[in-house]
């Protein structure tokens, strides 16, 4: 069991090239697992966590509904945004500046073989991070991700999640709104859920800007504790 995770902060990077890079790392782990099984070897499989910020982009999961994108191609261009159908779970979401996107590419056989537990741990890392800023958050039944005001008319999502897993190897991940422009969410029905708002950490704190590097360090601390990992 290799519980070491290689952390890579990619800075600002195009969605498509990041997706291709994820696929490359994902395939490398899967291929090594197949080789280990075939050759009866025990070469340790690597794990990665990518942090990245994307230029404006909308992505639609494999079970998503295209009608949840409320823009035409021309309107997308006018807003300087791109759109991709991708191979994760979940519906439509937005990525852009001011958002911390995390892509854990883990061999869960190094940790535990339970996708449900994996998603709950990702949520918990964000919930614990937000608590350090005095922001109470939690889960909403049947709606993966992290929410504020659950069970009230003011329920709002602060972190979206969507993952893919094969042979216990994960990719895609979470998107935490820290200083994001909420106007871009008006162009979609976020995660296909009507009538619920989206928020950001800086809005909740009533400040102009939150230090994103500090938020990342807090996420890493909680990720390390939950997964009993080492970066």
Closest CA to 92 of 189, 175, 200: 189
Residue 191 annotated among the catalytic residues of the structure = yes
Place of tokens 């807090």: 218
Which residues contribute to the annotated binding site for substrate? Answer: 88-95, 160-162, 173-175
- Among candidate residues 49, 125, 146, 191, the one labeled active-site is 191
Model's pTM, two decimal places?
Answer: 0.93
Contact 163, 170 (CB under 8 A): yes
DSSP annotation string for 190-226: GGG-TT-EE--HHHHHT-S---HHHHHHHHHHHHHHH
Identify the pLDDT of residue 112: 97
Segment 121-133, tens digit of pLDDT: 999 999 999 999 9
Which residues contribute to the annotated binding site? Answer: 88-95, 160-162, 173-175
Mean pLDDT of the 88-93 span: 78
How would residue 14 be classed by pLDDT, with cut points 50, 70 and 90? very high
């Amino acid at each position: 069991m290799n519980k070491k995770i290689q952390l890579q902060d990619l800075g600002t990077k195009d969605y498509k090239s990041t997706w291709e890079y994820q696929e490359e790392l994902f395939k490398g782990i899967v291929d090594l697992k197949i080789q280990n099984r075939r050759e009866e070897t025990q070469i340790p499989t690597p794990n990665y966590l990518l942090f990245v910020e994307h230029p404006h982009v909308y992505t639609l999961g494999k079970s998503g509904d295209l009608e949840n994108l409320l823009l035409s191609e021309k309107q997308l261009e006018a807003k300087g945004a791109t759109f991709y159908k991708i191979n994760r779970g979940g519906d439509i979401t937005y990525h852009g500046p001011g958002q911390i996107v995390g892509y854990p590419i883990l061999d869960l056989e190094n940790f535990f073989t339970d996708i449900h537990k994996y998603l709950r741990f990702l949520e918990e890392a964000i919930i614990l991070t937000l608590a350090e800023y005095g922001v109470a958050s939690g889960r909403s039944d049947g709606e993966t991700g992290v929410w504020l005001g659950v069970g009230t008319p003011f329920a709002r999502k602060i972190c979206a999640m969507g993952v893919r897993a094969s042979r216990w190897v994960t990719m895609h991940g979470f998107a935490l709104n820290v200083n994001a422009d909420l106007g871009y969410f008006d162009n979609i029905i976020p995660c296909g859920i009507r009538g619920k708002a989206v928020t950001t950490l800086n809005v909740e704190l009533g400040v102009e800007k939150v230090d994103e590097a500090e938020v990342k360090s807090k996420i890493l601390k909680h990720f390390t504790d939950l997964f009993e990992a080492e970066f």
